[in-house]
Structure 1
């Protein structure tokens, strides 16, 4: 943005071009949170789920249920613009839409535990805590992300610089700076998820339902 600012200082802004720029919409940021329903799967055995979760669980633990969410960040850019009569300079008004969340999200309950059984309910209820943690985290960071993007891009006036370069500049900054930043913010959810899967919680679920779970996983 420093380069664009310097160009603005040296460019003789003609009144007619200024009028055209004033007709552009103000730069704007829109943030959309994905709120898709999760999918329930009971096709995998607890052994298969344990293999799927090797990087997420402590060695020796059997995974009876698993919630997996794929983090999504998408940017859509529109840049209504006006090029001055020399063809060298433009004013452009970035209209940025960022969509983020988890999609798809799948809740797995091991197939050894039939729906309606006590063990199924215990495992399903545990996984719902993970689902709710994902959803709560996305809702919690929405304001933070909206404010950060708005401070940078909703500048109150069109951007000015060399003709045809604003959109490429914007895309490059989104890819190099903002995409990693937003992914890191989403990734903080794993700290909260780890607090759910404590040794005490594993032991509680395994011991529930009068031994039903341990009997089915021998």
Structure 2
């Protein structure tokens, strides 16, 4: 029996790590902050998350056959709606050295500025469904639930970033004063580590979003939606014929 189907694509593109290193031994700021075992306490860096949303765009020009091919196809379900979502991210952190004493230096995290940009947010509804029909409204409403899940990522990313900034502050505070020749190497290492950490956290959020999508894409939900417009609806007649 033909059933309602949906497939969501949520992709996190590769994270670009942008290293902003300000280091000049001849112009290092003086400081009396000398620590025996570590460089702390250090200031909390200025943090700004730039999250560039994209309003979802509706595409009604794709056939049910095209949607099934796009979603990978399934012998059990007809894909009558599809939501695609992609984002691109970059990470920018700036660390500056400060002199402790005896020619040794500590690091100060100055800024942490990740940028996340939604580059695709498309909602497809099968072209065979007439706008305003019961079947169209059922598919459109279901895809709207996927859109809400996608749009909820910003709050998750901000919370994860706040936690990561705390980790950066603690890590830098616990570092022992270092010789001048090791400063650039340490800055480069921390930029690389936290660039990877930011990407890991985004991937974790991505996996969580995928699970949220799966919770509304179940056989039980598909069956319920396929019967929402009564017997002999387009889900049972027009769409199966169009998909052949």
Give the TM-score taking structure 1 as reference length.
0.73
In structure 1, stretches of 5+ residues that fail to align are 1-15
Indicate how the Cα distance of structure 1 residues 113 and 98 shifts in structure 2: closer, same or farther if over 3 A, else same. Answer: same
Shift, 1:61, TM fit: 0.8
Shift, 1:150, TM fit: 1.7
Q: Show the counterpart of 1:203.
A: 223
Partner SS, residue 235 of structure 2: helix
Pick the structure with more helix per residue.
1
Instruction: Please tell me whether the aligned partners of residues 26 and 157 of structure 1 are also in contact (alpha carbons under 8 angstroms).
Output: no
Q: Tell me which moved more, 166-175 or 148-157.
A: 148-157
Q: C-alpha separation between the residues in 1 aligned to 2:197 and 2:67?
A: 35
Q: Show the counterpart of 2:21.
A: none
Which of the pair has the greater relative contact order for Cα pairs under 8 Å at 6+ separation? 2
Are residue 216 (structure 1) and residue 225 (structure 2) matched?
no
Q: Show the counterpart of 2:30.
A: 17
Within-5 A mapping of 1:111-190: 111-140=127-156, 142-143=158-159, 145-155=160-170, 161=178, 162-190=182-210
Q: C-alpha separation between the residues in 1 aligned to 2:103 and 2:122?
A: 52
Give the TM-score taking structure 2 as reference length.
0.66
Partner SS, residue 120 of structure 2: strand
Shift, 1:172, TM fit: 1.2
In structure 2, stretches of 5+ residues that fail to align are 1-28, 35-41
Instruction: Please tell me whether the aligned partners of residues 31 and 99 of structure 2 are also in contact (alpha carbons under 8 angstroms).
Output: no
Give CA-to-partner distance per residue, 1:117-141, whole Å, 9 cap, x none.
3222111111001111222344245
